[in-house]
Amino acid sequence: MMGGHLEISVIIPVYNASGFLERAVHSALQFGEVKEVILIEDKSTDDSLEVCNRLVSENSRVKLYQHHDKENHGAGATRNLGLEKAKYEFIAFLDSDDHYLPNRFDMEKTIFNNPKIEGTFGAIGVEYLSEKGKEEYLAKFNNSTLTTVNYPAEGDEVFKGLLGLTSKTFGSFFHLNTLTVRKSSIIKNNLHFNESLRVHQDSDFIIKLAYHCYLKSGIIDQAIAIRGVHDNNRITKIVRYSAQYNQRQFLLWKSLYDWATSQNLSSEYKKKVYLQYRSFDLSLKTGLNKYSNIVIEAIKNPEILKTKYRFTYMNS
């Protein structure tokens, strides 16, 4: 890449998004750097496929694919198919009910002139598309309208921050919609979305990416993309530390634990992943409704698992 010239493939998984998809696609097409918008249609039950076909007919940069059997495979498999089909040097992601802002790739124009940097990320804002969605979102996220990290970071500090191992609070997970990453780095490290996770494949992917690749924060004090909040957002439906929440977190951290045991992670990293996995595992085994506070306790003070609930750390 010379002189800030970017060539980007934007991957959009599509499932029952006919009311939002056109806006999402046009928000990506506004950038000359975006050479293709890849739509992966995952057997929607609404008229999303028809909208996809129309968008393809209107702009040659829009490409449409479906799974080989044209069945529903979930977001993980759908994004993986997008990664297979992407042709350009940089990969960006966009959910079909979200959209990019005009500053989405401002940082990328200079940051990737440094060949050491393999990916960058920023902040995402919120737009309320329904009153019910707004109520559910605000109840869960405490009136926070900007999902971002608390301070600039790069390299190992990003991975440590995502695991909660930095000296100051790094902040929440950055959103996949704000990530731009070199395709060569994804291939080199054999990274992909865990298709067995029906939710949280993005969090799983981001943590693994942050370990393997050199990431650097971009614009973190203002939104570069917008998340559309409506009645059907999965993220707002699950009450924190409820049975369903703990089950989904358990599957996420079990995936990361399995990965961590296969990697040469330092004991500090491996222990943190294990403690997260074990806290949700313990909550499930001891009765979710009565003991969901185990998770809250353990996340605040991981040593409590060892002292109060009496188990030993994995051997490593």
pLDDT per residue as tens digits for the range 198-211: 999 999 999 999 99
Neighbours of 90 (CB within 10 A): 24
Q: How much is the average pLDDT of 256-277?
A: 90
Domain that holds residue 142: 8-236
Is 314 part of any domain?
no
Report residue 256's pLDDT band, with 50, 70 and 90 as the boundaries: very high
Split into its structural domains, the chain has a count of 2
pLDDT over 70 (residue 312): no
In this predicted structure, the answer to whether residue 11 has a pLDDT above a threshold of 50 is: yes
3 lies in some domain: no
205 and 275 share one domain:
no
Apex 203 CA angle, 201 and 206, nearest 5: 105
pLDDT category at 285 given cuts 50, 70, 90 is confident
Percent of the chain scoring above 70 in pLDDT? 80
Average pLDDT value for residue range 86-111: 97
pLDDT of residue 240: 65
Terminus-to-terminus CA distance in the chain, angstroms?
41
pLDDT at 268: 87
| Predicted local distance difference test score (pLDDT) of residue 242 | 74
| 115 occurs within a structural domain | yes
**Domain boundary, last residue among 206, 236, 266:** 236
Same domain, 265 and 206: no
Same domain flag for 180 and 256: no
Q: Quick check: is 313 in a domain?
A: no
In tens, the pLDDT along 119-172 reads 999 999 998 776 666 666 565 556 568 889 999 999 999 999 999 888 888 876
269 domain residue, yes or no: yes
Radius of gyration, CA atoms only, the chain: 20
Q: What are the angstrom distances between the C-alpha of 246 and each of 175, 259, 305?
A: 21, 20, 16
Domain end call among 180, 211, 236: 236
Q: Supply the pLDDT for residue 309.
A: 57
Please determine, for residue 297, whether its predicted confidence score (pLDDT) is greater than 90. no
For the chain, helix (H) and strand (E) counts, in that order, are 13, 10
Q: Which of 60-64, 175-179, 235-239, 254-258 has the lowest mean pLDDT?
A: 235-239
81 and 165 fall within a common domain: yes
CATH number at residue 83: 3.90.550.10
Cβ atoms 305, 277 nearer than 8 A: no
Quick one: 34 and 159 in the same domain? yes
Domain end call among 188, 210, 236: 236
**Eight-class DSSP state of 236:** G
